[in-house]
Structure 1
Amino acid sequence: MKKVHGDFLIGAATAAHQIEGNNTNSDFWAMEQMEHSAFKEPSLGAVDHYNRYRQDIDLMAEAGLNAYRFSIEWARIEPEQGHFDEKELEHYHDVIRYCRSKGIEPIVTMHHFSSPKWVIRQGGWENEGIIEAFKKYCVYVIKAVGSELTYVCTINEANMGLQMADLVRTYMKNMKQDIQVGVNPEFYANMKKTEEENIRVFGTAKPEDFLSARTEQGDQLIMRTHEAAKHAMKAICPHLKVGITLSLHDFQPDDDEASRKIAQKEWEKEFIRYLPYITNDDFFGLQNYTRKLIGKEGVKGVPEGAEITQMNYEYYPEALEHVIRKVAESLEIPIMVTENGIASTDDGRRISFIKTALDGVAHCIEDGIHVIGYMHWSLLDNFEWQMGFTKTFGLIAIDQNTKKRIPKDSLRFLGNYDWRID
């Protein structure tokens, strides 16, 4: 097998809100505190990465990783519109400098799901004003730290809103069926209470946070926001390599024409539709966790008897290689795997997942596909959004009482994988 070059980036990824703690000016913090919150529990101090980032970066370096993808939290940098916090900017500047001092490439994501609360009060990610607001935030950050960065991701999983819209449509369809047969008669009553609380907190019954079910217009707005931010940042620091990340599945159709057509339609909706916005980017951030089987009626469930993760995804690390190859058919820019991993309490299965996934990456490189890095999700067991702290994706476990870091065997396995240097 061809070995990859020594400048190949191999590391782990995180998101600020999930690990830092006390992100009090963000929309997610506000939603977590609500009486009718959809969150299992609030993030509170999360895993205190805000104060312990040096320790966490040390563990990465000691394990042999050479890259760290993390996000800068907009709600910390600009807690109120037009008010930028220099102290918070300096915090992230120090994270970047500390990565460099440890031989770790800092890969910054400017937006990873959470937004300032004021953004949502102004219409959120369905409001045309998001383009200028996000651009100003990016410009402020890059003017200060851009000279010390190489890779910047503008927006994490920019296509997540349309995926959420599909989930909401399915959920609402099922809920209506349940209500008709009397299974869940309190559904609409609870929804009404939530809307009333949203009005008090966000000024609207249906706040448009980044993970809200996206409209077609809103989906295009996100990509226009990406373009505007990219051009603005590169105008300040032309050396920057700027891209975006998308959540992609390995669509596998049954062996018939109807299934193949449905799989192609799903792929076009999840990836092809974004090509006009990303073809001229400097790299593409590819994020994959599993496959989806497609039949004549559409997406099928996980095969009976298949191993599943804590997220109820099928354990299928082979998906990554398949998706890289599929992306490369339409996109010529370098590919960085910005997320790939599993939620599991069995670290042995995580190691097996990593090995199979990285073998797939190596096969792609051997065939001439330009893959420049692999970021495992996640560095730390963390706050998994609405599911709280119950899902363990991390290479490092966290004692929630003491915040003690407990490196797993998978961390060192990833950092010492023997094909990464030629």
Structure 2
Amino acid sequence: MELRFPVGFLWGAATAAHQVEGNNTNSDFWLMEQLEGSMFMEPSGIAVDHYRLYKGDIGMLAGLGLNAYRFSIEWARIEPEEGRFDESAIEHYRDMLVACRVYGVTPIVTLHHFTSPQWLIRAGGWESAETPMRFARYCEYVMRKLGEFIPYSCTINEANMPLAITKIMKRHQLSESVAQVGLNTEIKKKMETYQAELSKSFGLPYDRIHPFLSPLSEKGIENVFRAHTEARAAIRKSSPQTKVGITLSLYDIQSVPGGEAHAEKAMQEEFLQFIPYLKDDDFFGLQNYTRMVYGPDGMLPVPADAEKTQMGYEFYPQGLEAVIRYVAKHLGLPIIVTENGIATDDDDRRIAFIDRALAGVHACIADGIPVKGYMHWSLLDNFEWQLGFSKRFGLVAVDRATQRRIPKPSAFHLGRIARANALITN
């Protein structure tokens, strides 16, 4: 039996500009990908050429039966130099939004998805007290130009990610002496070369380079969330009809006996402490991929016998329901699932993941939780940051030699669910 979702439910898929557009030459990530000794497996290059092929991609999404598309506007394109806004870039994103309107697709626009302009990093990056103002100025400009086309805006993607990176780095520092002894000489040399090249390229000492995806101080993390609140105010002033939210990456945090305190601390750090910044939003963008389990000594490894994805995550689609319920308990806002998915070459497992995740979403809605949409990550197989093109999250495969799009069975499966609900509710 098909699950019945509410009238107006948003069925979609998501992308991020840098991962799909290609040639994002003014961004910090583009610079970091090109350097000698780069930590990136490969540069993004033309990516999957979405900057040129967006109309066909949006038409394909609609043709599958989906009615929403979450994508990001690239700050480094809009404002390639501080205070200089590129009108041709605005026109490009206007054309994307018009294409969404033509195809009956609701756009959910993210204004910052990990990448920043190079000039921002040279100006102190996300540790600078001026960054929230600069981000709000950019958001105000975009929304003044394009807000009439944007019903939903996410200010910052996974705003809690710098905190997660900071925690990982601290864990590594605790065992730094062991790591240094065990580190391959060639890898150490590559890291040193990369750090030197990065310093030269940005004209800053290595420890003063602060992109979004880097360890940030408490002040830096506060800057990220101040950027959200200042952007929210700017958006509401420029485009009052646009609903404003943020997205956070949240594990389904669990514990075994003795791990309860660790689990409580983790959720406090990753979600609860940020509620004061979020409570005045119009919606919450929830992103979940797996669970994290804590024991008496801290985080437990993924069980050896568990099914794992290409990312090394435990295959755990039921985590989405648990996280929705947790967020709903603590934050009284409508929820949009802005990312949920799996990296795999076994598309049958992607279909199984979607079905189990959607069953959880449906159960939450049946219990009165206002979940307004589900955006699968991702629409296309794309550039997965430091991991290059090696991980495949897409509903649609891409032949990168020809840029031909090849929808997978999972794309048609999710589209059938969306179409069935459209027939039921219309």
TM-score with structure 2 length normalisation?
A: 0.96
Listed as ranges, the matches of 1:28-39 within 5 Å are 28-39=29-40
Between the aligned partners of 2:325 and 2:23, the Cα distance in structure 1 is 40
Between the aligned partners of 1:157 and 1:122, the Cα distance in structure 2 is 22
Aligned partner of 2:375 in structure 1 is 375
Gaps of 5+ in 1: none
How far is 1:242 from its partner? 0.1
Aligned partner of 2:127 in structure 1 is 126
Give secondary structure in 2 for the equivalent of 1:32.
Answer: helix
For the Cα contact (< 8 Å) 1:179–1:185, is it kept in 2?
Answer: no
Listed as ranges, the matches of 1:224-263 within 5 Å are 224-254=226-256, 256=257, 258-263=258-263
For the Cα contact (< 8 Å) 1:178–1:184, is it kept in 2?
Answer: no
Cα deviations by residue, 1:143-201 (Å, 9 ceiling, x for unpaired)? 11101111000000000001011222233444531334x55356655443333211211
Give secondary structure in 1 for the equivalent of 2:110.
Answer: strand
Give secondary structure in 2 for the equivalent of 1:416.
Answer: helix
Between the aligned partners of 1:79 and 1:164, the Cα distance in structure 2 is 27
Cα deviations by residue, 1:295-316 (Å, 9 ceiling, x for unpaired)? 1011100012100000000000
Aligned partner of 2:410 in structure 1 is 410
Listed as ranges, the matches of 1:10-89 within 5 Å are 10-89=11-90
Residues 1:286 and 2:286 are matched in the alignment: yes
Give secondary structure in 2 for the equivalent of 1:326.
Answer: helix
Aligned partner of 2:218 in structure 1 is 216
For the structure 1 residues 368 and 405, does the alpha-carbon distance in structure 2 shift closer, same or farther, using more than 3 Å as the test? same
| Percent of aligned positions that are identical | 53
For the structure 1 residues 67 and 183, does the alpha-carbon distance in structure 2 shift closer, same or farther, using more than 3 Å as the test? closer
Gaps of 5+ in 2: none
For the Cα contact (< 8 Å) 2:36–2:193, is it kept in 1?
Answer: no
Give secondary structure in 1 for the equivalent of 2:330.
Answer: coil
For the Cα contact (< 8 Å) 2:254–2:292, is it kept in 1?
Answer: yes
Q: Which runs of 4+ in 1 moved over 6 A?
A: none
Cα deviations by residue, 1:57-107 (Å, 9 ceiling, x for unpaired)? 111111100000000000001111111100110000010010011010011
Between the aligned partners of 2:331 and 2:142, the Cα distance in structure 1 is 29
Between the aligned partners of 1:56 and 1:89, the Cα distance in structure 2 is 19
Give secondary structure in 1 for the equivalent of 2:259.
Answer: helix
How far is 1:416 from its partner? 1.7
Between the aligned partners of 1:18 and 1:46, the Cα distance in structure 2 is 6
Give secondary structure in 1 for the equivalent of 2:107.
Answer: strand
Aligned partner of 1:302 in structure 2 is 302
How far is 1:412 from its partner? 1.4
Aligned partner of 2:193 in structure 1 is 193
Between the aligned partners of 2:130 and 2:146, the Cα distance in structure 1 is 25
For the Cα contact (< 8 Å) 2:74–2:111, is it kept in 1?
Answer: yes
How far is 1:36 from its partner? 1.6
Residues 1:103 and 2:96 are matched in the alignment: no
Which deviates further from its counterpart, 200-209 or 297-306?
Answer: 200-209
For the Cα contact (< 8 Å) 2:37–2:191, is it kept in 1?
Answer: no
Amino acid at match of 1:220: E
For the structure 1 residues 183 and 158, does the alpha-carbon distance in structure 2 shift closer, same or farther, using more than 3 Å as the test? closer
Q: How many residues align?
A: 419
Between the aligned partners of 1:134 and 1:179, the Cα distance in structure 2 is 38
How far is 1:291 from its partner? 0.2
Between the aligned partners of 1:189 and 1:4, the Cα distance in structure 2 is 55
